[in-house]
Amino acid sequence: MAERMLKFVGTPQALPEKRPAAERRRDFQEIYARYAREKAAEQAARCSQCGVPFCQVHCPLHNNIPDWLKLTAEGRLDEAYELSSATNNFPEICGRICPQDRLCEGNCVIEKGFESVTIGSVEKFITDTAWENGWIKPIRPRHERPQSVGIVGAGPAGLAAAEQLRRKGYQVAIYDRYDRVGGLLIYGIPNFKLEKEVVQRREQLLRSSDVRFHLDCEVGRDVTLEELRQRHDAVLLATGVYKARDIQAPGVGLPGIVAALDYLTAANRIGLGDTVAAFESGVLDARGKNVVVLGGGDTAMDCVRTAVRQGARSVKCLYRRDRANMPGSQREVKHAEEEGVEFVWLTAPQAFLGSESVTHVRSVRIHLGMPDASGRRTPQEIPNSHMNIEADLVLKALGFDPEDLPAMLRASDLALTGWRTLKIDWRSMMTSLDGVFAAGDIVRGASLVVWAVRDGRDVAERIHGWLSAGATAPLAVAAE
């Protein structure tokens, strides 16, 4: 009822209880507790139900946020979940890891002076409640279709597409080179942001829905793309991007300088009970070390906060711009600072010092000059401002680029863009190969999980349209 809403003028913003920094530094558990049912309803009731919901506009999935907030405020949680899941395959995952401060919550119209509605925490609460009450059931299509779709990649784009296609009755098989389902959700994101059970129960739901998984199966090594094309009526490439960007500087090859994803994967595998030789030998273990992380995105935040939990002696994050210009979530920066991470703003590495392994990062102070063509202010070195920062472990969190997919898949006629991402016809989302579609980071470049879910849902519709039309191919995408 309408009188339940518009409570923002009298009810302050209240996130779920956050565990004290001294406590959460010691483990990898999620840092926020769950809302109590009445507290979730109270916070949902702060929504102003505005006529043009900017939260929804700025959500890549265009979730019906005001509507499921109103249903939550009224205690109609089963209906709230039904509405939430209508546009999002993984609302409990997005509620945990989306940078809401840059998307929905950051565009809430009551933010100034009253603080935004806690959209992400309510979204997480709704879906966790749905799981506990058994409202989430395996997919049972009304009609089974004979056509099959092969999906390469078990990350968020591939999983979202698989669920949507299975709902339409297609036979779906997912191929992934890793031994677990989830991609970066399982190996790239630490438990304190996304506990692995949250991903694994989605996997079990898809298995119960008769989606078949072929793990430890690398396309190009264990099976060719051409074989998949013969095996399935359509193929989706949703491999993501994993090639770490490097830095060109003297000493960059010294032992102790590693890629962020290698470090995070090792930490996540240890948490899952695996034995990782590089961790056991101390190479990827931050315990007792002076850790320096290069970068300012969410991967860098995951690294610094993981190093704190592993017992690092000190953790510093070097970023060449200031706090206001960093690409990562400001909420994550605040969490890291609470946990003891030191941010060294306006600083860039120039060289790495050491003989048998890295001992220092030689860096230079930065001044932000005039904006460049992108609108961002250009970093400029300040003369004679060099300093050496002690480091036993340096983590390069500088972003990701696509791997050479045509070579990996043994498909030389697979067209690429100038950025080495897969080239597609944006109307059909088909690549230069007939019946082979692509979605997610391998098309748009390294991006957010919520965008991968959006792309997976979109490409499922395109595949359905193509197969329903009798698999009539659109105009081919020309190779560059």
- Specify whether 233 is located in the same domain as 264: no
User: Residue 114: its pLDDT value, please?
Assistant: 80
Asked, for residue 142, whether it belongs to a domain, the answer is no
Mean pLDDT of the chain: 94
CA distances from 462 to 225, 229, 258 (A): 20, 17, 39
Asked, for residue 138, whether it belongs to a domain, the answer is no
Is a pLDDT exceeding 70 seen at residue 2? Answer: no
Is a pLDDT exceeding 50 seen at residue 115? Answer: yes
Asked, for residue 284, whether it belongs to a domain, the answer is yes
User: Residue 374: its pLDDT value, please?
Assistant: 79
pLDDT in tens, 10-54: 999 999 999 999 999 999 999 999 899 999 999 999 999 998 999
What is the domain-level CATH number for residue 89? 1.10.1060.10
What's the burial of 384, exposed, middle or buried (CB within 10 Å: 0-12/13-18/19+)?
Answer: exposed
Is a pLDDT exceeding 90 seen at residue 94? Answer: yes
Would you place residue 3 in the very low, low, confident or very high pLDDT band (cuts 50, 70, 90)? low
H or E stretch at 165: helix 156-167
pLDDT in tens, 321-352: 999 888 888 999 999 999 999 999 999 999 99
Which one, of 80, 72, 14, 18, lies nearest residue 45 by Cα? 72
- Specify whether 275 is located in the same domain as 391: yes
- Specify whether 414 is located in the same domain as 464: yes
Distance CA 210, CA 167 (A): 11
- Specify whether 12 is located in the same domain as 115: yes
Would you place residue 173 in the very low, low, confident or very high pLDDT band (cuts 50, 70, 90)? very high
Q: Is the Cβ–Cβ distance between 165 and 149 less than 8 Å?
A: yes
Indicate the residue among 105, 132, 159 that finishes a domain.
Answer: 132
Asked, for residue 480, whether it belongs to a domain, the answer is no
- Specify whether 205 is located in the same domain as 128: no
CB neighbours of residue 205 within 10 Å: 17
Is a pLDDT exceeding 70 seen at residue 289? Answer: yes
Asked, for residue 315, whether it belongs to a domain, the answer is yes
- Specify whether 379 is located in the same domain as 258: yes
- Specify whether 121 is located in the same domain as 21: yes
Domain count, the chain: 3
- Specify whether 256 is located in the same domain as 279: yes
User: Residue 471: its pLDDT value, please?
Assistant: 61
Asked, for residue 475, whether it belongs to a domain, the answer is no
480 or 275, which is more confident: 275
Is a pLDDT exceeding 90 seen at residue 377? Answer: no
Contacts of 282 (CB under 8 A, 6+ apart): none
Range of the domain at 305: 248-398
Distance CA 319, CA 397 (A): 10
Which one, of 40, 52, 67, 54, lies nearest residue 105 by Cα? 54
Answer whether 0.75 is exceeded by the pTM.
yes
Is a pLDDT exceeding 90 seen at residue 472? Answer: no
pLDDT in tens, 387-407: 999 999 999 999 999 999 999
Indicate the residue among 74, 101, 132 that finishes a domain.
Answer: 132
Is a pLDDT exceeding 60 seen at residue 480? Answer: no
User: Residue 328: its pLDDT value, please?
Assistant: 83
What is the domain-level CATH number for residue 328? 3.50.50.60
- Specify whether 181 is located in the same domain as 201: yes
State the amino acid at position 161 in one-letter form: A
Indicate the residue among 355, 380, 398 that finishes a domain.
Answer: 398
- Specify whether 362 is located in the same domain as 434: no
User: Residue 265: its pLDDT value, please?
Assistant: 97
Helices 330-338 and 298-309, packing angle to 10 deg: 20
Strand positions, DSSP E, 290-440: 290-294, 314-318, 342-344, 347-354, 358-371, 377-381, 387-390, 393-396, 400-401, 436-438
DSSP 426: T
User: Residue 375: its pLDDT value, please?
Assistant: 81
- Specify whether 194 is located in the same domain as 223: yes
Asked, for residue 66, whether it belongs to a domain, the answer is yes
Helices 119-132 and 77-87, packing angle to 10 deg: 110
User: Residue 51: its pLDDT value, please?
Assistant: 87
User: Residue 389: its pLDDT value, please?
Assistant: 98
Asked, for residue 139, whether it belongs to a domain, the answer is no
Would you place residue 476 in the very low, low, confident or very high pLDDT band (cuts 50, 70, 90)? very low
Would you place residue 113 in the very low, low, confident or very high pLDDT band (cuts 50, 70, 90)? confident
- Specify whether 341 is located in the same domain as 267: yes
User: Residue 4: its pLDDT value, please?
Assistant: 74
